[in-house]
Amino acid sequence: MLIILALCYTLQIYFDFSGYSDMAIGIALMFNVKLPQNFNSPYKAKSINSFWERWHMSLTRFFTKYLYIPLGGNRCGEKRTYFNVFIVFFLSGLWHGANYTFLVWGIMHGIFSIVERRFKITEKMYDVVSWIYTFGFINISWIFFRANTLGDALFVVKGILKCDFRGIDNNVLSTLILPEIEILFDVLNIEQYLYIFPFVFLIVLIIIILDGKNTNEKLMQFKPTGLKALTTIILLSWSVLSFGNTVSFLYEMF
């Protein structure tokens, strides 16, 4: 259950923040303003350093320009470069909030980034193994990012490491089911399969992340069609009808 919850947050924070960035870029284009790309399929990354070249790219550019380079970048020897990298990630954690959980999150990324640079570990791995290592580390690090306290984060991590696969509570599964899906399953008279939906949904999302084109790639190849217009109308209508159930933008607190 804890693995499912951690994976859900990993997907939630990506789709929430990436979607918000897409909205900002799209609205800016309506005013003939071109904003820089902020996400480039970060969960396809096969190393922590590659992840940060793809995730929240505007923040990475900011820290590179105004902190990493002024500190000396990689021009002052190997040890100083590692120190500069660590400082960037340490302050990146602090930038997200004055909480030990964010500091630990930043320190974790800093240490693994330095280890990768020093020992080139991902270059010695098969692509599948390097992706599993990267995606697994990102999932674990998000636990610390999301937790209210270090104790909460460690409780979740310890629970996962116990590998106690006793099933998943129905109350947890129910939170992953939209009311619209419940109605659809009820109309189709297949409500007995309702609790399979969250697992299928998560698998589909992961396939989209790993195999699908990101927004920027789609934008470069976009050609209007009747099907795309219909899809847009359906999604827009669904969004309008869901206004009463709106939730806050997850990343707004940062």
- Note the pLDDT tens digit of each residue in 57-87: 999 999 999 999 999 998 989 999 999 999 9
Q: Is residue 173 part of a domain?
A: no
Pairwise CA distance, residues 2 & 19, whole Å: 25
Question: Do the domain assignments include residue 224?
Answer: no
What pLDDT is attached to residue 179? 79
Q: Could you read off the pLDDT of 138-177 as tens digits, one per residue? A: 999 999 999 999 999 999 999 998 887 777 777 777 777 8
- Whether residue 56 lies inside any domain: the answer is yes
Is 96 part of the annotated catalytic residue set?
A: yes
Among candidate residues 96, 113, 142, 185, the one labeled active-site is 96
The answer as to whether 120 is a domain residue is yes
> What are residue 35's phi and psi, to 5 degrees?
-85, 150
Instruction: Give how many domains the chain has, as a whole number.
Output: 1
Q: Which domain holds residue 42?
A: 2-167
- For the segment 185-204, the average pLDDT, to the nearest whole number, is 84
Q: Is residue 214 part of a domain?
A: no
Asked if residue 218 belongs to a domain, the reply is no
Please tell me the pTM assigned to this model.
Answer: 0.86
C-alpha–C-alpha distance, residues 159 and 130, integer Å = 24
86: nearest Cα among 61, 66, 62, 103:
103
pLDDT value for 105: 97
Inter-residue contact 41 to 21 (CB < 8 Å): no
pLDDT digits (tens, 9 = 90+) for 41-53: 999 999 999 999 9
